[in-house]
Structure 1
Amino acid sequence: MRSSRWAPVAGWCAATATSIVLASVALLPVLRTSSPEDAALAQLPAADSTSFPAPLPSATATQPPVTKKPTPTPTKATKTTTPPRSSEPAATTPTPPAPTKAETATTPPKTTTEDGWTVTTAADGTRTYVRSFRVEGGQAVIKMTSDGVVSLVTATPADGWAVQKVQDSPDNMAVYFNEPQHSFIIHATWFNDRPFVQVSEVGS
């Protein structure tokens, strides 16, 4: 049984080998015929290894090697910290304004008392004298200043009496309290750089 299976395979192998041998025998004459180029090469003397010419350059154009540019390393941007702007203006210390003449004038003047007179001294050195005088016929308040001016502040007569002011110059004044046939006179004048007042009675 086994020899009958392998008989066709052996026959195919024998046939294939016979075909290869026949083809080789047929090609021998052709292979033995040398070409003219082979004959010419056979006539050239053997080349000395020391005199071997330099190789011809290649017909392919040599391209310059591509230089790969280094990829730039990204640098971290320096972050500049800017202080936030405040919408509110910067706090500044206010400078007090220089005192004006009007503010200087509001300084309370110095007040003293001399011989019953209330004396007030102003910033410029002017002195003001004020005093009240009471008589039977009424009451008068007189003012004098150091520049020689005499003035009547108030004059209040008593019941049944009348008041009259007489002044012939800025530094000389008289106040009369009158009733029929009877008078009180307050005579005020600026004398010897100070106030001078004399009270007198006329009639009865």
Structure 2
Amino acid sequence: MRSSRWTPIAGWLAATATSIVLASVALLPVLRTNAPEDRALAQLPASDAGDFPAPLPSATAPAPTSTTPTPGAGTGTATKPRPTATRTTTTTPPRPTTTAPKPPANTAPPTTTEDGWTVTTAGDGKRTYVRSFRVEGGQAVIRVTSDAVVQLVTATPADGWQVQKVQDTPDNLAVYFNETGHSFIIHATWHNDRPFAQVSEIGS
């Protein structure tokens, strides 16, 4: 009874093994045939290693840059940058120095008036006398100095009149304002250490 039970199983195993053997034998010629790609590669001439391009130079990786960890990094808390205080220096421009101009020295000698003459005394003690004379025939300005010099400064005749100067010595001067038959004479001289003047009229 037991042998009859295993008989079909043994027959099935034998048939399966026979099928495997037959399939292997049938595929053996196919496996031995080279693939077309293999035959093409076998026919290529051997190439020299020098025909290949030179290998590219290897790139040098940059050295890693060390970074200093920022305080508070990784803790989940953002660190706010501190404001930089800027110190502003205000430079006050120098004040212009103003030097008050010195008043000019009063070099003018003092003046006085004597008998109608304006007297000016110089530093060396020399005195100058100036006086203006006005008459009907015109106007004259005479200057006399203490060293006995008499000078006519200006002489302006009136309309219809003529002026004439007469001086024979430095200390004696006469100014004439003339019209027909009528004259005015201004006579100035140095006398007794002072100027002396006299006005006269001749004719009418």
Return the TM-score normalized by structure 1: 0.48
TM-score by length of structure 2 reads 0.48
